[in-house]
Amino acid sequence: MMIVKPRIRGFLCTTAHPKGCAKYVLDQVNYVKSKPAINGTTKTLIVGCSMGYGLASRISAAFGCGANTIGVSFEKEPTPTKTASPGWYNNEAFGHFAREHGLLSPTINGDAFSDEVKQQVIDVIKEKLGTIDLLVYSLASPVRTHAKTGSVFRSFIKPIGQNLNSRTLQLDAINGNCVVREVQLPAATPSEIESTVAVMGGEDWQDWVATLASANVLSSGFKTVAYTYMGNELTWPIYRGGTIGRAKEHLDLTCQQLSAEYEPNIEPLIAVLKAVVTQASTAIPVVPLYFSILFKEMKKRGTHEDCTQQIHRLFDEQLYRADRRTDEAGRIRMDNFEMDEVVQRVVKENWHRVDSENVHELADVEGFRQDFLSLFGFERTDIDYDLEVDPTTAIQ
């Protein structure tokens, strides 16, 4: 038993609260259960199932559509004296709530890029579900060991073509103190761009589809969706115009290749999602400042959504409808409230005005801070963080 408090460096938290994570999952489950049932997937594979948009997808599939789900994620296990990574507790909690609901929910904890994990998933599909009708590809990884060549690729977050001078939010997540500070990022080298595309581009998604298809575990009418982000001119140099954006362009291209190869038997889709606080997004410089300015405006207008609200809406109003809201490239646009003209105008104005003095007035720093801590099971009013907990299980 131990007392678990947040241990934070920048936007990294090296501890997670088991009970807090379980309650975080339960909140999302209850949100989805409070909505009308969705006529959609019944047997779903989620790659990147433990956190952020992948977890929200698993919860929407299971508790929105009534699906049996298989999840894949790469999470650190606990020991009697060390907490697990939050995704490990989330998986355990999800499994518990899914079982209570009468749903199958096997989870494989391992490297999704590897052939071994793909084979394990196929074995589990054959044994438990027979086939799957939806693959959600929601990986966000800093590194990939290539299954065929053994080469190790890293994902870089850098601008392309020129160095970037911008601003970001430096936040002390414990006490809420923050400053707006300058950031300088050097332009990526060609090999850094290539490496990022190898990690966050579409090659592994394509591998998953090809491996599952050749194992004959896809139902007729099978769909697969991968997630992307677009953003605006403020985030463009570090996101869409940078190394990550290059990887996301590759994801778009992969979607077209999958269509050419497999349609009409398989429907590949890309969904452009809104900005939300996750482990992956807070690692991107500039983003914390842009996100917190954006959240302030979206909350003011009542259009802000968290991961679960956004993905539930994707499943409910887009994935299983013929009349989807798509852009010129055929991507499903779930970022419609974020990209609203008025929201974007206000965000740009506030971005140019914001400094360390007025940041609490122009940006939702407190909301950002709470979202960040809640990813690790902290900052909840229904948990007494001075009490000891068992770090080896979320359900206690």
**In the complex, which residues of this chain contact ligand NAD (CB under 6 A)?**
48-54, 72-75, 87, 111-113, 138-141, 227-229, 273, 275-276, 278-281
Closer CB to ligand NAD, 94 or 113, in the complex: 113
Residue 145 C-alpha from the chain's centroid: 20
Q: Under the phi-then-psi rule, with left for phi > 0, alpha for psi from -120 to 50, and beta for the rest, what region is 340? A: beta
Q: How far is the CB of 319 from ligand NAD (least distance, A)?
A: 15
> Nearer Cβ to ligand NAD, position 36 or 337?
337
Residue closest to ligand NAD when measured from CB atoms: 52
Query: Could you give the dihedral angle defined by the CA atoms of residues 158, 258, 38 and 89, in that order, rounded to the nearest 10 degrees?
Result: -50
DSSP state of 26: H
What b/e readout covers 192-229, taking b as 16+ CB neighbours within 10 angstroms?
bbebbbbbbbbbbbbbbbebbbebebbeeebbbbbbbb
Least gap, CB of 356 to ligand NAD (angstroms): 24
DSSP string over 3-14: -----EETTEE-
CB of 116 to ligand NAD, least distance (A): 11
Residue 139 or 289: the one with the smaller Cβ distance to ligand NAD is 139
The nearer residue to ligand NAD, 113 or 368, going by C-beta atoms, is 113
List active site positions. 239
Distance between CA atoms of residues 288 and 19, nearest Å: 27
Residue 263: Cβ within 10 Å count: 10
Q: Which residue has the tokens 């020991």?
A: 79
The minimum distance between CB 275 and ligand NAD, in angstroms, equals: 4
157 vs 266, beta carbon nearer ligand NAD: 157
